[in-house]
Structure 1
Amino acid sequence: MQGVLDLAYITVFFLVLIRMASFVASCALFSLPGIPALVKAGLSFILAALVTPLVMPAVTELPQGVWEFALAVLGEAGVGLGLGLVCTLVFNAARMAGQLLDFQIGFAMSAVMDPLSGSMNTLLSRFFFFLTLVLFMNMDGHHALIRALVNSYRLVPLTSAGINGEITLLMIRIFTDTFALAVQICAPVVAVLVITDLAMGLIGKTAPQLNIFQLGFPLKIAAGLSVLAVLLPALTSLFKYMLETLQKDLLLFMKGLA
């Protein structure tokens, strides 16, 4: 009897660990390459060890056989990856806003390979991303993420996750909201830059002897960064709203899986 209980406990622990590890590997907060892999694995193991005693009493049926166990592992990995993808999409709104601003200001030519994201990023995109991370940590968001992950075992019990049309529509809405948030973040600065372009075009028509291309590049940088510095407190409030919507999206995603 004791051996059966131990085997059931180990099975539950392994399934919990799969969901935890998948979330840590895909979430933008925990999946930074600067974090050693051993730290990520240790965090997943510790969280699984703490959560398993809470999950164990609610488990009524465990997978029987190799195929059922393999399907259960794939299901738990899918739940963890889905939760991490929702978090990453929300964080990418700040990065996309920075890339749009860099393109308008002229910083797009300074794009370099960012080892943290593994992609080509520009100056303001990295600035916005790290600003979002700082605000997220300041709002105790990392603890909120862990609480949401623990609650996922109550809303989506082990081996019970399923995909339906609501999940597809929810992911499409989150994806579109990501672009909408990115446009809202950069819209004021882009508006000023468009006015600056129009003004330089008028100057070029009235004074053809001026080199507008040479004059416009530093002028757009100065105008864009000045407006960004003035609007940064308001943008910070928008970032906080973006992070608050993350918790709502995670809750809706878990209810959809259930």
Structure 2
Amino acid sequence: MFSVTYAQLNGWLTAFLWPFVRVLALFATAPVLGNRSLPMRVKIALAAFITIIVAPTLGALPQVTVFSAEGVWIIVNQFLIGIALGVTMQVVFQAVSATGDFVGLGMGLGFATFFDAQASSSSQVLSSYMNTLAMLVFLVIDGHLQMISALLATFQTLPVGSNILGAAGWRTLANFGSTIFSAGLLLSLPVVAALLITNLALGILNRAAPQIGVFQIGFPLTMLIGMLLLQLMIPNMIPFFTRLFEVGIDEMGRVAAGLR
């Protein structure tokens, strides 16, 4: 008769549950994989599939009962690790969205918003456009696979059961948040500078010839120039996005190393 002891059951459960929580937390917060259009059942199934593959390679795990106080604390640790790694990649995509916000504000399209189901709030049209373009590039260069690979590598640098109260990792993540403004402004700078020059020229024209009616031609002109420059920038955006994603993947490793 087949029988299973409590120790064996606890060992099987811990070998699956703890890494599963870390993987699922990444899937819940990371860009693309955490998109709300992806059904929750699919996310759970993918996380379980990856966990089944990686669990045998993790080595010895803490000999702790799953639902004891220490076991629950380990579950919380794994959850926070996955959240930190997912938020690290979200910073990269928020930098791209910030680019759309800066450009849209300069073009006078700041009022053009619609409801974004992913953010559960209203977002600018150009911000959503840039975010969609970034997601397409992310999938084309297999960024989602690189992100999963970086997550699996953290099981070596940050084994299951480690204490994540190290301030260095959280400080690294907080400092990386400045990328939203620096990378977003850097990418939008050509369009913003051109629109600034356009507005200055329209201001001078309004002073020189008020009868032209600059307010009537200003909005369509800035919109036309902004759209034209965005069209010209798209071929150069792809290498920039690729580099930005590589920085985000590397930052995931640094955050995980700092959490030890």
**TM-score normalized by the length of structure 2:** 0.94
Q: Percent identity?
A: 24
Matched, 1:152 2:154: yes
Q: Which residue of 2 aligns with 1:109?
A: 111
Matched, 1:207 2:233: no
Whether the aligned pair in 2 keeps the contact of 1:63 and 1:72 (CA below 8 Å) is no
Moved over 6 A (4+): none
In structure 2, distance between residues paired with 1:134 and 1:121: 19
CA displacement 1:117-168 (0-9 Å, x = unmatched): 3221122111111111111111111111111111111111111032323223
Residue 48 of structure 1 is aligned with which of 46, 51, 66?
Answer: 51
Structure 1: segments with no counterpart, 5+ residues: none
Which residue type is aligned with residue 11 of structure 2?
A: A
Q: Which residue of 2 aligns with 1:248?
A: 250
Whether the aligned pair in 1 keeps the contact of 2:91 and 2:180 (CA below 8 Å) is yes
In structure 2, distance between residues paired with 1:230 and 1:5: 62
Structure 2: segments with no counterpart, 5+ residues: none
Matched, 1:34 2:37: yes
In structure 2, distance between residues paired with 1:19 and 1:99: 32
Whose helix proportion is higher, 1 or 2?
1
Residue 163 of structure 1 is aligned with which of 149, 162, 165?
Answer: 165
Which residue type is aligned with residue 249 of structure 1?
A: E
CA RMSD in angstroms comes to 1.6
1:98 deviates by 0.5
Pairing 1:90-105 to 2, within 5 Å after superposition: 90-105=92-107
Q: Which residue of 2 aligns with 1:10?
A: 13
Q: Which residue of 2 aligns with 1:88?
A: 90
Deviates more, 1:176-185 or 1:156-165: 156-165
Which residue type is aligned with residue 41 of structure 1?
A: I
CA displacement 1:163-214 (0-9 Å, x = unmatched): 3232233122210122100001100000000000000001100111122222
In structure 1, distance between residues paired with 2:238 and 2:149: 24
1:60 deviates by 4.7
In structure 2, distance between residues paired with 1:86 and 1:167: 11
Q: 1:58 is paired with a residue of what secondary structure? A: coil
CA displacement 1:16-74 (0-9 Å, x = unmatched): 1111111111112211111111111111111111111112x232543576211111111
Whether the aligned pair in 1 keeps the contact of 2:191 and 2:229 (CA below 8 Å) is yes
Aligned length: 257
